[in-house]
Amino acid sequence: MSGSRCQLRRRPPPLPEPRGPLSGAVTALLHGAAPGSVPSPECCAAYGDDLQLALYVLYELHYQGFQDIPDSLEWDSGLLACRSAIENRFLGSLRRDVPIDDTDTALRALDELQLEPVGDGGSGVSYFLRDEGSLDQVREYAAVRSLYHLKEADPHAWVLPRLHGRAKAAMAAVEFDEFGGGRADAIHAELYADLMEDLRLDTRYGYYVDAAPAEALATVNLMSLLGLHRALRAALVGHFAAVEVTSSPASRRLAEAMRRVGAGPAAVRFYTEHVEADAVHEQVVRHDVIGGLLESEPHLDADVVFGIRATTHLEARLAARLLRTWRQDATALRGTEPTERNVPPSA
């Protein structure tokens, strides 16, 4: 990673523009407004722009924060109370929309992930981009996914202190790969920034938040929600399993899409790296992370199932949003298309 890019990545992003009264109130709280001014999350659509942006902003205090916002607000009691109310609205809707019955098991849910088109979560997107997507649509997809991939593996690391024995050792081994195996230039988030440079996108952390639809914010918020709560540790493992099990086949298709539109070698490399690595990770997660977790805490089986199914539910919503707009020759981004950087991809 170049020195200039490193400096840009270390700088906290600006606060995004509010999308309604709830996210506006959260932004005001960060600037010192009284907590009593926050509207009830029950008045907001659980998967809508306003609630999802409000939750995203509050979660980002635990990552890189925001410009001109004190780091001390990360554990501010008023903000945490506000976050809890919003989380309850989001989590309650997920539990309603992703019901689990007595016949569901983690093994069954994992097997379901192998089935197409369900298996990829957003499998329709990877097929579309491989077969007919334009360079502009590939760039849109990369901009939207940057909210996840520029923090790839970070929320999953929160589960390590909450695991034991075989599950902890296996999870640490997979995370070690995600963080580059000890090499800074091989950290997956950095490989994604390389991909973005090939596509002439801005690599700054959080740059495309204002352009991202609510469906994209929700997929990222799910990781943070599950990662920040010890009680949801098994659901986070389920989320991780869903990502790893579905990643290899989708990455193969996305690598082909990058080649077809001439996206550049770094763009291709990001996905080819995931084809082989995630095929291995799938087996480790299935047999050792989940197997080890349920061996020591079998009562958490349903939580693993919830994590898997909540992930595929939100990924399917995002895929539907992207495909619907692309098939209408429209943009899935809010306001504008992703801005090209005024530097060559090789810089």
Q: Mean pLDDT over all residues of the chain?
A: 90
Please report which confidence band the pLDDT of residue 245 belongs to, taking 50, 70 and 90 as the band edges: confident
Examine residue 169 and state whether it is found in any structural domain, yes or no. yes
Single residue among 97, 117, 136 that ends a domain in this structure: 97
Examine residue 341 and state whether it is found in any structural domain, yes or no. no
Q: Which two tokens stand for residue 236?
A: 């986070």
Examine residue 336 and state whether it is found in any structural domain, yes or no. no
Examine residue 333 and state whether it is found in any structural domain, yes or no. no
Domain co-membership, 221 together with 145: yes
Examine residue 63 and state whether it is found in any structural domain, yes or no. yes
Tokens 């005001």 -> residue: 28
Supply the CATH number for residue 136's domain.
1.20.910.10
Domain co-membership, 159 together with 307: yes
Domain co-membership, 277 together with 158: yes
pLDDT digits over 1-40, tens only?
A: 555 555 556 689 999 999 999 999 999 999 988 777 789 9
In the chain, % of residues over pLDDT 90: 78
pLDDT for 118 equals 41
Domain co-membership, 80 together with 128: no
Q: Which two tokens stand for residue 139?
A: 């760039």
How many domains does one find in the chain? 2
Domain co-membership, 159 together with 17: no
pLDDT for 346 equals 34
pLDDT over threshold 90, residue 242: yes
Alpha carbon dihedral 66, 227, 155, 117, in 10-degree steps, equals -120
What number is the average pLDDT over the span 295-304? Answer: 96
Q: Which two tokens stand for residue 213?
A: 């639809």
Domain co-membership, 183 together with 297: yes
Domain co-membership, 63 together with 89: yes
pLDDT over threshold 80, residue 122: no
pTM: 0.92
Domain co-membership, 90 together with 169: no
Domain that holds residue 207: 106-326
